[in-house]
Amino acid sequence: MNIKEFQDKLAALVELSARQGQTLAPEQMREFFEGDDLDKDQMLRILQYLRGKGIRIEGVGWTEEVADDGIDLAAGTPAELTGEEEAYLRELLSELEGETEENFRYREAFSALADRDEKAMLSLTRYYMPWTARTAADMNCTELLLADLIQEGNVALVSALSRLPEENILPENGDAWVKAQVRDGLRSAIEEQVLQKQRDDSLVAKVEKLDTAVRELSEDEEDKTLPFTLQELAVILDMEEEEIRGILRLTGDEE
């Protein structure tokens, strides 16, 4: 596959994702590159390129297949709790579990919540907050502080309980549905941080690329001024003019 054909396929994938709300299914990725004999590293680069454009790959199976060392890119970089985090978690669980009623009848609360009972909403929130904290701790990663991840889980919990009446979830299915929503919320929060880090790393790389190019292209000039226009530099570096202008503004080099 030549470069032009590869670029066309990437562009078509990006266009398809735009029609699908910035999401792609794993099978769509496979179909686009079927028969191209791409290795694991090449598929990883494609995934990272798409994520850098804010495109979400549905499910985790495909990323698990292509990720090196078994790391699921969609779930960040797993990390053990530090001593400080373990102490924080113990103290938090002590407070939260102290507020939870013994023998709480959560299924009855789900029935009441279906009728938009505010007391049931509060009771269920308190009931699931310890579970949310423990689940966040199980998903601890380097991209987010544990306290922030737990907070994101609580936001997902409240959102799920608020939506439950509209979703027409049966009381007997409420527990599984809420837990699935919280896990999705935690994963989304981590994914956003992974994506933001990729964006930040990409910007740093572009700044370094531009700085290196400016130094190399101007090193023969006595006054060290750049002997190229912005338009010419964009062609040389294969970057958009506005992108270069933005980086120059960021570094304070634009006159």
Mean pLDDT, residues 161-176 taken together = 89
Residue 71 pLDDT grade (very low, low, confident, very high; cuts 50, 70, 90): very low
**Cβ(154)–Cβ(132) under 8 Å?**
yes
Q: Which of 53, 50, 52, 44 is nearest to 25 (CA)?
A: 50
Supply the pLDDT for residue 63: 42
Residues whose CB is less than 8 angstroms from the CB of residue 219 and which lie 6 or more positions away in sequence, other chains included: none
> Residue 32 corresponds to which tokens in the numbers above?
């686009």
Percent of the chain with pLDDT over 90: 25
pLDDT bucket at 194, cuts 50 / 70 / 90: confident
The residues pairing with 24 across neighbouring beta strands, listed in sequence order, are 57
Helix (H, G, I), strand (E, B) or coil at 24: strand
CA pair distance 7, 55, nearest whole angstrom: 17
- For 52-177, strand residue ranges (E) read 56-57
How do the domains of the chain map onto residue ranges? 3-75, 83-191, 197-251
Q: In which band, very low, low, confident or very high, does the pLDDT at 111 lie, cut at 50, 70 and 90?
A: very high
**DSSP secondary-structure letter at 78?**
B
What is the CATH topology of the domain spanning 83-191?
A: Rna Polymerase Sigma Factor; Chain: A (1.10.1740)
Banded pLDDT at 60 (limits 50, 70, 90): very low
CA distance 211 to 251: 10
The tens digit of pLDDT for each residue in 17-53 reads 888 877 887 778 778 877 777 766 677 667 767 766 6
User: What is the C-alpha to C-alpha distance for residues 5 and 9, in angstroms, rounded to an integer?
Assistant: 6
